[in-house]
Amino acid sequence: MARLRTAPPRYWLVGVAFLFFLGFPTVISSFQTSLWTQALVLAIAIMGLNILVGYNGQLSLGHGAFMALGAYTSAILAHHYKLDYLITIPIAALLTGLVGFLFGIPSLRLSALYLALATFALAVVTPSIIKRPAALTGGVQGILVLQPDPPQFAQDVFAFITGTRMTSDQWIYYLSLFCALLLFWLAWNLVRHRPGRAMRAIRDGEVAAAASGVNIAGYKTLAFAISAFYAGTAGSLFGLATGFISPDTFPVSLSIQLLVGAVVGGLASIPGPLLGAIFAYFLPIESNQWVPSQDWIPDQIRSTVKNAGPAVSYGAVLILIMMFAPNGIVGLVNSGYSALNRRLRGAGDRETGQMPPDPQTV
């Protein structure tokens, strides 16, 4: 009990968030559960991108292509080879991670700008490549992914706790939540140990990192492989959550959406990808519904948002984020918490007659 009372506030926030996501599907509709499942899937992909961009300093604009590879790997194995879809998820993740590792090798010779262009080109050509082997990928028609019924043990536990029957959407939600928790925990451990410190050293200065004995090439390709592994997992779960995949499911805008989520949530942070995914997924939906219904907004603005909602919404919010929260939502919360803590500590020192500590000597 003493350890619980002295636990840092962030641990309590993690516990509250876990309980919230655990019980949320029981109080919302099946359609809303499906939406939140896709938001969790985006959070997994953004977490992988955060490892590459936020912790290692390599800019990627093509993570939608890695999601497509993971989704099609699982769909092809399940549809053509009749494998259980749950078994295909780790296979798709490992295959995508291997492709990411191989892609990371030639990227060692590219500077940040040319690496961004190369990954952007990958995102552009991926939908066209998918259409070519039509017998395998279904071409423009795509592949229908059958959503499985919940296993018996999950139905029994869910019925015992809630007294209701678990639906397929709820089962896929909890599966995505489990994968998100596992991968976020792995990322948290990664950045706290030697690989994470080496990646941050490379991000802050390759020359200094190499002088300290850091294997630049090894950790850069490792970051690409881990990032692609996360994206492949997310793509596999995304196909399961939507029930259908096609080349149009993975446009260039998906890669931009992932990068926007990473930046808005906060680069080089663990909770940032979750907040960024919620923002990146639900902002276009809410803006397309809310703005056209407001009569006080000029007609030109309403029609623009209706016709190009995601682009307008992302642009406007990104401008505000860059102006008022350059470190993302997590950075803004941390800055506010630190300022409030300093103010409260200063007030406590004044009440006891002690001088507040000099920040230059702390």
Residue 8 per-residue DSSP state: -
Q: How far apart are CA 184 and CA 58, in angstroms?
A: 20
Structure tokens given for 3: 């350890």
pLDDT tens, position by position, 212-222:
999 999 999 99
Name residues whose C-beta falls within 8 Å of residue 100's C-beta, 6 or more positions apart in sequence.
66, 224, 225, 226, 227, 228, 229, 231, 232
pLDDT tens, position by position, 241-268:
999 999 999 999 899 899 989 999 999 9
Beta bridge partners of 245: 143
Whether the pLDDT of residue 5 is over 90: the answer is no
- Kindly tell me the sign of the dihedral angle through the C-alpha atoms of 237, 240, 242, 246: positive
99 in Cβ contact with 220 (< 8 Å)? no
302 in Cβ contact with 240 (< 8 Å)? no
235 in Cβ contact with 68 (< 8 Å)? yes
What pLDDT score does 288 carry? 67
Q: E strands along the chain, which residues?
A: 143-144, 244-245
Q: How far apart are CA 88 and CA 236, in angstroms?
A: 8
Mean pLDDT score across all residues of the chain: 87
Residue 262: name the closest of 28, 49, 37, 107 by CA.
Answer: 49
Average pLDDT over residues 16-45: 94
Nearest 5°: CA angle at 270, between 260 and 174?
A: 90
Whether the pLDDT of residue 21 is over 70: the answer is yes
Predicted structure pTM score: 0.90
89 in Cβ contact with 74 (< 8 Å)? yes
CA atoms in the 13 A half-sphere facing the CB of 316: 12
Name residues whose C-beta falls within 8 Å of residue 322's C-beta, 6 or more positions apart in sequence.
none
Question: Between the CA atoms of 113, 115, 117 and 118, what dihedral angle is there, to the nearest 10 degrees?
Answer: 160
pLDDT, greater one: 170 or 7: 170
Structure tokens given for 230: 């996360």
Q: How far apart are CA 273 and CA 48, in angstroms?
A: 9
Whether the pLDDT of residue 309 is over 80: the answer is no
Whether the pLDDT of residue 361 is over 50: the answer is no
pLDDT tens, position by position, 77-93:
999 998 999 999 999 99
Pairing of strands 143-144, 244-245: antiparallel
264 exposed, middle or buried (CB, 10 Å; 0-12, 13-18, 19+)?
A: buried
Which position has the token pair 């950790």? 219
Average pLDDT over residues 173-194: 95
State the first-to-last Cα distance of the chain, in angstroms, to the nearest integer.
Answer: 31
185 in Cβ contact with 205 (< 8 Å)? no
Which position has the token pair 């018996």? 152
CA atoms in the 13 A half-sphere facing the CB of 322: 7
pLDDT tens, position by position, 274-295:
999 998 898 877 766 666 666 6
State the alpha helices, DSSP H only, in 193-292: 194-204, 206-211, 216-242, 252-265, 272-290
What pLDDT score does 242 carry? 93
Which position has the token pair 């019980």? 23
